[in-house]
A and B are shown apart, each in its own frame.
Chain A
Amino acid sequence: AAGVIQSPRHLIKEKRETATLKCYPIPRHDTVYWYQQGPGQDPQFLISFYEKMQSDKGSIPDRFSAQQFSDYHSELNMSSLELGDSALYFCASSPRLPGADTQYFGPGTRLTVL
């Protein structure tokens, strides 16, 4: 079965640089979620989108922005990177049906900021 695709899988950046992470949801899933997992930490919710509109916002820094496109893929843009942004970034998707709150996760993008 098709899964959530994230690219790139690994990314190394310098402080103050920018990074763009991409997420391609499971076909026919129209809701996308982003999570950040620091080293040894539990995943923290950043932001979610439904039908290209932001549906919820969590602990996402102002330096980060995200959007969902007409083909339902999503991009997380991160600017002025800091050492503390080094983490595993997960994207998840779900179909927008009543009670369908199960989220299916991608393999993650490991961002290292030097």
Chain B
Amino acid sequence: AQSVTQLDSHVSVSEGTPVLLRCNYSSSYSPSLFWYVQHPNKGLQLLLKYTSAATLVKGINGFEAEFKKSETSFHLTKPSAHMSDAAEYFCVVSNQAGTALIFGKGTTLSVSS
């Protein structure tokens, strides 16, 4: 069965410093992987998606993620954090049939000035 593990439940950074949110996946097939962001009391917004076309995926708002098959990782990064980046981030894998998404437990990103 497929699953994702987000290695940090909470990450705190200062504004202007790099962001690293870590995610490992487990899958018996070549997975589709996603990062979604959820701001407080808001819906889920797609940041980026990996589908095997390229290992480095660029998303919205300056975020990017690198797929590393050898490490079964899909970490999310951003060179410089902004206050508006404070939110809950979910690493997500699609099931093999593409009929459902499986979410990680989420990482809360806090950004201080």
Q: Is the CB of B44 within 8 A of A56?
A: no
Question: A92 to B106, alpha carbons, bound, how many Å?
Answer: 19
Is the interface on chain B under 10, 10 to 19, 20 to 34, or 35 or more residues?
20 to 34
In the complex, the chain B residue whose C-beta lies closest to that of A106 is B43
Let me know if A104 is at the binding interface, CB within 8 A. yes
Q: Is the CB of B102 within 8 A of A45?
A: yes
Least CB distance from A68 to B in Å reads: 13
Question: A106 to B90, alpha carbons, bound, how many Å?
Answer: 16
Let me know if B99 is at the binding interface, CB within 8 A. yes
B59-92 interface mask toward A, CB cutoff 8 Å, 1 = contact, 0 = none? 0000000000000000000000000000000100
Q: Is the CB of B101 within 8 A of A103?
A: yes
Out of A58, A101, A102, A107, name the residue touching B43 (CB < 8 Å): A107
Given contacts A104-B46, A107-B43, contact A99 B104 (CB under 8 A): no
* Contacts from B to A (Cβ < 8 Å): 32, 34, 36, 42-46, 49, 51, 90, 94-95, 97-106
* Contacts from A to B (Cβ < 8 Å): 33, 35, 42-45, 48, 50, 55-56, 58, 90, 92, 99-108
